[in-house]
Amino acid sequence: MMGPVSGRLVLAGSPIGDVSDASPRLGRVLGEADVVAAEDTRRLRRLTGELGIAPRGRVVSYFEGNERERTPELLAALTAGQTVVVVTDAGMPSVSDPGYRLVAAAIEAGVDVTAVPGPSAVLTALALSGLPVDRFTFEGFLPRKPGERARRLTELKDEPRTMVFFEAPHRLTQSLEAMGDAFGSDRRAAVCRELTKTYEEVKRGPFDELVAWSAAGVRGEITVVVAGADPDRTMTPEKLAAEVAVDEEAGTPRKQAIADVAKRFNVPKRTVYDAVLAARDPGR
């Protein structure tokens, strides 16, 4: 890795909705940059127009479809001593948006990398969700294919931290249903849409309620916040067998008790059945 060069890469956080959230510094760096790499140049023109500025440098598109090809060009500008600002449609570049490739390349080349902090859909949704925020994990967009999505969610079933996802409006109901299947229909969650915009809405509740609410159609930018797994409900075979025993003592037939416990803790009935057999015969 070489020593620092004179160029500078600036990741510019842009408003996620209300343009008045833009900082004075954002307007200044957009106006003074040698190159502005924008996810959508039309949205950039709208933003700079509302901020009352005109970029003096070159404006180029930098989006998912051309990110790989355009990164070497932007890196060349940086190593030549220019200031390059990356700005996406909303929020911080590289967070589920273009930017990561250029950041990695710039660091490797010894280019100074900095950021203009701005609004974050992730943090805003967390704060509004009403769910624990002391520890969280950002999971971005779920896979589009149902099988891959189900596998990803199964991997997260026992995640104890609050989880944050992005989702497209037309896939929201399917994703909420898949989350309910993986996490349990009673797991708490919040769907945050159009944050900081005119029609901002936060719908909180268990998955079964959120699925019913979303079925009529939901529009706008979507962030989903999901409560982490309750350690008390991360069930071992011993706990499952104990739950069945409690239901049986209350008068529920064993077969029904096994089905009820399986549904309650979102595990296969066979798993509960095996746990009961193991409890009866520890050497099995």
Averaged confidence pLDDT in the chain:
93
- Of 226, 175, 221, the closest CA to residue 195 belongs to 221
Alpha-carbon distance of 50 to 73, in angstroms, equals: 29
Strand ranges for the chain from DSSP E: 8-12, 35-38, 58-61, 83-87, 112-116, 136-141, 162-167, 188-193, 201-206, 222-226
Q: What confidence tens digit (pLDDT) does each residue in 153-210 have?
A: 999 998 999 999 999 999 999 999 999 999 999 999 999 999 999 999 999 999 999 9
CATH of 122-232, picked from 3.30.950.10, 3.30.450.20, 3.30.360.10, 3.40.190.290, is 3.30.950.10
List the structure tokens of 180: 């309910």
Banded pLDDT at 1 (limits 50, 70, 90): very low
pLDDT above 70 coverage of the chain, percent: 95
> pTM of this prediction?
0.78
Residue ranges of the domains in the chain?
A: 8-119, 122-232, 235-280
Q: What confidence tens digit (pLDDT) does each residue in 203-223 have?
A: 999 999 999 999 999 999 999
The span from the first CA to the last CA of the chain, in angstroms, equals 59
List the structure tokens of 39: 């996810």
DSSP-assigned beta bridge partners for residue 37: 60, 86
Q: What is the pLDDT of residue 79?
A: 96
| Core vs surface per residue 118-150: b (16+ CB within 10 A) or e | bbbbbebbbebbebeeeebeebeebeeeeeebb
The C-alpha angle with vertex 64 and arms to 159 and 71, in degrees rounded to 5, equals 110
Q: How many C-beta atoms lie closer than 10 Å to residue 233's C-beta?
A: 14
Among 11-20, 64-73, 241-250, 274-283, name the one with the lowest average pLDDT.
274-283
- Fold category of 8-119 in CATH: Cobalt-precorrin-4 Transmethylase; domain 1 (3.40.1010)
Strand ranges for 82-145 from DSSP E: 83-87, 112-116, 136-141
- Compute, in degrees rounded to 10, the torsion defined by CA atoms 271, 275, 278, 282: 130
Is the pLDDT at 64 greater than 90? The verdict is: yes
Question: Could you tell me if 114 and 145 are in contact, meaning their C-beta atoms sit under 8 angstroms apart?
Answer: no
List the structure tokens of 161: 């931290």
DSSP-assigned beta bridge partners for residue 193: 201, 222
Q: What confidence tens digit (pLDDT) does each residue in 90-100 have?
A: 999 999 899 99
